[in-house]
Amino acid sequence: MIRTRFAPSPNGPLHLGHAYAAIVAHDLARAGGGAFLLRIEDIDGVRSRPELADAFRADLRWLGLDWDEDITQSHRLVAYAAAGDRLRAMGLLYPCRCTRAEIAAAATAMGPDGPVYPGTCRRNPPDSATEDIAWRLDMARAMALAGPLTWDDARAGMQMARPDLFGDVVILRKEAPASYHLAATLDDAADGIALVTRGMDLFAATHIHRLLQALLDLPVPRWHHHPLLVEEDGRKLAKRRGSPSLADRRRAGEDGLALAEALRGHDFPAGISLSESVSSVS
Ligand code: GLU
């Protein structure tokens, strides 16, 4: 049975793009008689505003969406730490205390997420007992252990996994219990998600998730990366640029069911369209 999820981070209000993402995941599950899960990805201690989660639920109900399970990531910290311990015991993680600025200054290559880590702390590891340590994956070792990997996207077809594009990614963050990559991968497995639906902005992240699945003996789902709602200049919709949030629309008395139908029919407000990629200018 197909199980999908919508996994918003409560870092800011939901927008039309989130509504579209939730509808895609919901409808794919329901079309196959499957389950649709809501997962609140609230482990970013700095940016997360847990009080937004209830507004998210109200937004989804207003759109006419219902879900079978309601999961909160911060309830799962023990599982993330255990997976970190396991990767560390396999000799695949090393401590890193570099700052963003240091990495930007020393990096010589760009990856899908920004500068590729130049390996400073891999060559010269800091004392892992000190504070402010992140743990990075030794990508070359991890890939050698896992061997070549593929993954299947329902729209884009079979992909060769290219986690090397990212270099030594952070797995356990300094200021949060796990990286997005580790938490999402473990949760999708724990939640039995058979079809991971999310936007094209996370397409490349799947290369890392596929590698983590191989390293941690997790089941391999299929993916469905959908196009994103963008404004005329190709940028993702965001409130700071004036597009009203779902909560604003709901509180203003707009008809959520009609909005959901319009999004399903790709009948978007003026100036908004679907795009396979998002401009990095923000
Ligand atoms: N929490 C992520 C976000 O809001 C989505 C993660 C995912 O769908 O894998 O961008």
What 3-state class would DSSP assign to 58?
helix
Residue 246: per-residue pLDDT: 96
Residue numbers of the chain with a pLDDT score lower than 70: 238-241, 278-282
List pLDDT tens digits, range 115-163: 999 999 999 988 877 778 999 999 999 999 999 999 999 999 999 999 9
The values of phi and psi at residue 38, to 5°, are -105, 130
Instruction: Give the per-residue pLDDT at 174.
Output: 84
How far is it, in rounded angstroms, from Cα 140 to Cα 122?
A: 11
**Nearby residues of 250 by Cβ (< 8 Å), 6 or more positions away:** 58, 59, 62, 256
DSSP assignment of 228-244: EEEETTSPBP-GGGTPP
Residue whose CA lies nearest to ligand 1 atom number 6: 7
Confidence (pLDDT) at 119: 96
pLDDT for position 282? 37
Give the domain 3-73+185-275 fold. Rossmann fold (3.40.50)
Dihedral, 221, 12, 14, 250 alpha carbons, nearest 10: 150
pLDDT given at position 280: 52
- Expressed in angstroms and rounded, the spacing between residue 8 Cα and the centre of ligand 1 is 5
Please state the separation of Cα 209 from the chain's center in Å: 10
Which three-class secondary structure state does DSSP give residue 117? coil
Q: Where are the domains of the chain?
A: 3-73+185-275, 78-172
- Please state which CATH class domain 78-172 belongs to: alpha beta
Q: Mutate which of 198, 209, 228 to test ligand 1's pocket (most atoms within 8 Å of Cβ)?
A: 198
Residues in the chain: 282
